[in-house]
Amino acid sequence: MRKQIAAANWKMNLTYQQAERLLDEILQEKIALGPDQQVLFAVPFPYLVLAKSEVDEVHGYAIAAQNAYSKVNGAYTGEVSVEMLQSIGIKYCILGHSERREYFNESNEQLARKVELCLEYGIQPLFCCGEALAIREAGTENAYVQRQIEESLFQLSDEQVRQVIIAYEPIWAIGTGKTASAQQAQEMHAHIRSVLAGKWGKETADAVPILYGGSVKAGNAAELFASPDVDGGLVGGAALVAQDFVQIIKALK
């Protein structure tokens, strides 16, 4: 069975003290994870080392970065490299979140480079894709998401793409309280899997976890995650409340 993943995206929230408390409250629950279940916390850069030291001994829990730059190193003031993440033992990194695409103009081409760099340095990318409301209203969301995947992932080998985690996050559902229905999520996830199968074959497509993101809450996680092609969630707002995220972890298949 492919990995079932509950990933918290803290975005640019929480002070150091609040972050420490939130992580403690969640870990105190000692939720026993199955062999194919994984919990990730994508925390702001300054908290990576602390957060990693807190989860290191806990089975199935790991820390992710929220972004990394598309160059190996050099004169890029303010950026953080994949090599730096690797050097502190980070194994996961969100790439191409819609907020990065919108506010920092990240393109599919730049993301292709970031994905390659992460894989080169042994970091599994959580590659985000998803359409804006206007695209869904026009009925062209399948083609749009397919293009994001083609332009950022299709250069990868079979072995490489098996290290990628995809997060489908319809922009109209992120932070809006408007969740995609379980059927809408399943339909898009099945489409994404068919795009992967078309390029790398069914066996590889079946090995890639595809998470849903967009107003996942304690109350809707179980229904969303129950769909056959939904392998967990990437969670923003609800991941900032310990008891809510605990319920989301418990909703994993």
Binding site, annotated residues: 9-11, 175, 215, 236-237
44 is a contact residue toward ligand PEP (CB under 6 A): no
Sign of CA dihedral 42, 20, 4, 12: negative
Query: For the chain, what is the total number of helices (H) and then of strands (E)?
Result: 12, 8
Shortest Å, Cβ 40 to ligand PEP: 12
Contacts of 163 (CB under 8 A, 6+ apart): 119, 124, 125
Residue type for 210, please? Answer: I
Residue nearest to ligand PEP (CB): 236
117 is a contact residue toward ligand PEP (CB under 6 A): no
189 tagged catalytic: no
* Contact (Cβ atoms closer than 8 angstroms) between residue 177 and residue 222: no
215 is a contact residue toward ligand PEP (CB under 6 A): yes
Select 11 or 136, whichever has its Cβ closest to ligand PEP.
11
67 is a contact residue toward ligand PEP (CB under 6 A): no
Does residue 8 sit in helix, strand or coil? strand
Shortest Å, Cβ 233 to ligand PEP: 8
Q: Which of 96, 125, 130, 213 binds ligand PEP (CB under 6 A)?
A: 213
**165 is written with which tokens?**
């985690």
Sign of CA dihedral 158, 48, 38, 246: negative
Q: Which of 3, 5, 9, 114 binds ligand PEP (CB under 6 A)?
A: 9
* Contact (Cβ atoms closer than 8 angstroms) between residue 112 and residue 152: yes
169 tagged catalytic: yes
22 is a contact residue toward ligand PEP (CB under 6 A): no
* Contact (Cβ atoms closer than 8 angstroms) between residue 174 and residue 215: yes
Sign of CA dihedral 101, 51, 37, 233: negative
State how far the Cα of 249 lies from the Cα of 253, in Å rounded to an integer: 9
Closest CA to 219 of 197, 241, 202: 241
Q: List binding-site positions for substrate.
A: 9-11, 175, 215, 236-237
214 is a contact residue toward ligand PEP (CB under 6 A): yes
Closest CA to 232 of 148, 170, 165, 176: 165
Choose the catalytic residue: 99, 116, 169, 191: 169
**120 is written with which tokens?**
């080169």
Select 173 or 208, whichever has its Cβ closest to ligand PEP.
173
Select 149 or 173, whichever has its Cβ closest to ligand PEP.
173
Which string of x and - marks every residue 164-203 that binds ligand PEP (by CB under 6 A)?
Answer: -----x----xx----------------------------
* DSSP one-letter code for 215: S
237 is a contact residue toward ligand PEP (CB under 6 A): yes
Select 14 or 197, whichever has its Cβ closest to ligand PEP.
14
Residue numbers of the site for ligand PEP (CB under 6 A)?
Answer: 9, 11, 169, 174-175, 213-216, 234-238
Residues labelled catalytic: 97, 169
